[in-house]
Structure 1
């Protein structure tokens, strides 16, 4: 009996570092999109237009896209625990600064600090989770990271908006900052020290990009993320104007998208190692199908539910499978490879939102799925013909 108890305690201890990383993922993901729900309050407080306040979101995405690679190369030789704790400390301090902002540009500067922390965090969190995972549980470790993101979509974003509406937008940032300091303490206590990657320089980039699977992984990623965010960036007005749904119904349906992230992470952890190629194809084809079916599904709530379930599940598979393949195919310089992936991902977010906006103003919001679907066809072809034959077996 004593041996069983000791074994259980040991097993719990093995998973505590991953739990700390999951909490970190939750708080980072919650923070990224919080300003979207608080733009009106921020604009009113600083007596600026909502479009000027919205620049925070655009600049945030482009800072992440442009700084992911250079920042990761700069810190590539730093020990993983020290680096992770330093990132979370910067993240927390930047949120406290956001809460104390006396003007728009001070708030913008604090968000740039958060974006820099974000750029490094998403470059190292997945490789670190895989590195510290118990033997044979790498897929489960990755699914925990995705679960943190999914829970942020389900709970974190609505809660942050509710706090902002009830007590003011500053308190939302303040609470995120304080929770981040608590997460920092948790990380400092349970995260093991691991050997950092060897210092990486820009001169080594050509060698990294010679890895057969890496360029097609990046190509399919930027195409698929652009396709996804062409539609997803404007999913709320689409549901309101094209599907004619109430605001409360839209909130519930978007929550379903996050719930499918949890479902997808469970499926991934069980079947990825045995069905890598199948899950990749399901992800890419599922997103493509979801985009093309978006407009036809708008005729009823039931069909929208089915559509979002398919789309949310496929998007989860995409994120998990493609990050796993970067790690699998790049044994050395993984964090740098992930930093490029993160930068490309954010280019896709910005590009998709831009294309979606042009579609809404030039055609109408009902066409966003079709335009995104056309882009996703290119991603499907590139994945099946160019990427999959080059993946490490």
Structure 2
């Protein structure tokens, strides 16, 4: 274990990296692309999968829930039990698990088997989300840690912007099984690239491992998770119910175009985060959450203008695009040598927020109509912003 000032940072290889490992970081980003594809694929193909499995769309919707459940239940204990393993073999096993479960899903004719595979897909995905952030930082020079994390994080917004629509197109144009099969092909390519270009890293030494309860009590970890919970619940509630909002607003903007705008803007958010995260992490976070809240306010107050709607959606996408990298960075720095375990709470928090968003959104939609989910975004975003200020001394500090 090493320290920088008073902040512990994850144990690195014996020799500090001196070259920026762009190829390896891009492979880790491609892993994130596969994760997002695996998570969101069923949502865009509900009618096709329901027809193929001779069941209802409501039942097929459980494929998303099964994935989230696998992530929530398995991630933290799996990361805790494997933190002593070498990182590269663990990475390969987890990606191979995604390859296997997506392939079985592509050939499955059984709802029960498909649900079981989705649970396992979520479990493998959670393991990967728990290790990607610290992996990217540890193989990079310390002065480029934020930039490396931003590159690793591009896989998620690229998957949202392009991967999910591509999978939906494959499934509707040919057959839904092609979408899952295509994801398996990408996973196989990622495995080959990991073997070729991603360096191995040692696991955590036994004498450095804190008990799980001690990790959650590390100063800063809890407040970061609280920010994630409020921020992502606000985002997921509004994002899930964007169609009712657009109907209530009476705008001419279509859901598809709005979501593409959001996805492309989220990539810009990653670029901004990569440029600023190493030098101004705290200021960047405050500004990002503030932009998130402003975007929601514009959508509520100026929804009659298509220009205002698209501008606000772009701001929303920029804010959300940088969120995962900033939160992973904060957890990695706060977690120190236990960064993998600290980061394993991140996908759990995200998926709990996604699960809760459906319930919260449905409730406020029934009571307040199409504008209510966007109001939830503003209120919870404001709470998240307040927490970033309250926790700035322990949770949101630079690594150097």
Regarding TM over 0.5, the answer is: yes
Query: Alignment partner for residue 360 of structure 1, among 356, 365, 390?
Result: 365
For 1:123-134, list aligned pairs within 5 A: 123-134=130-141
Which whole-Å deviations, capped at 9, do the CAs of 1:272-329 have from their partners, x for residues lacking one?
Answer: 2222221111122222222233232321221111101111111223222221111112
TM-score of the aligned structures, taking structure 2 as reference length: 0.89
1:92 aligns with 99
Alpha-carbon distance, 1:19 to partner:
1.7
Which whole-Å deviations, capped at 9, do the CAs of 1:229-254 have from their partners, x for residues lacking one?
Answer: 111111133224534435xx432221
1:390 aligns with 394
1:265 aligns with 270
1:236 and 2:243 matched: yes
SS of 2:307 mapped into structure 1: helix
RMSD across aligned C-alpha pairs, in angstroms? 2.1
- Structure with bigger helix share is 1
Task: Give the conservation status (yes or no) of the 8 Å contact 2:269–2:322.
Answer: yes
Which whole-Å deviations, capped at 9, do the CAs of 1:105-161 have from their partners, x for residues lacking one?
Answer: 111111112111111010001110111124532222111122222211221111100
Query: Alignment partner for residue 170 of structure 1, among 177, 183, 190?
Result: 177
2:14 aligns with none
- Separation of aligned partners in 2, 1:228 and 1:380: 13
Query: Alignment partner for residue 378 of structure 2, among 373, 377, 388?
Result: 373
Alpha-carbon distance, 1:58 to partner:
1.8
For 1:153-168, list aligned pairs within 5 A: 153-168=160-175
- Separation of aligned partners in 1, 2:130 and 2:288: 22
1:15 and 2:17 matched: no
Range moving further from structure 2, 100-109 or 263-272: 263-272
1:274 aligns with 279
1:343 aligns with 348
Seen in structure 2, the aligned counterparts of structure 1 residues 237 and 245 have a Cα distance that, compared at 3 Å, is farther
- Separation of aligned partners in 1, 2:175 and 2:125: 24
- Separation of aligned partners in 1, 2:206 and 2:63: 32
For 1:286-305, list aligned pairs within 5 A: 286-305=291-310
- Separation of aligned partners in 2, 1:281 and 1:86: 37
Seen in structure 2, the aligned counterparts of structure 1 residues 213 and 159 have a Cα distance that, compared at 3 Å, is same
Structure 1: segments with no counterpart, 5+ residues: 1-9
- Separation of aligned partners in 2, 1:154 and 1:382: 29
TM-score of the aligned structures, taking structure 1 as reference length: 0.91
Task: Give the conservation status (yes or no) of the 8 Å contact 2:300–2:374.
Answer: yes
Alpha-carbon distance, 1:200 to partner:
9.2
Query: Alignment partner for residue 117 of structure 1, among 104, 118, 124?
Result: 124
Query: Alignment partner for residue 203 of structure 2, among 187, 196, 200?
Result: 196
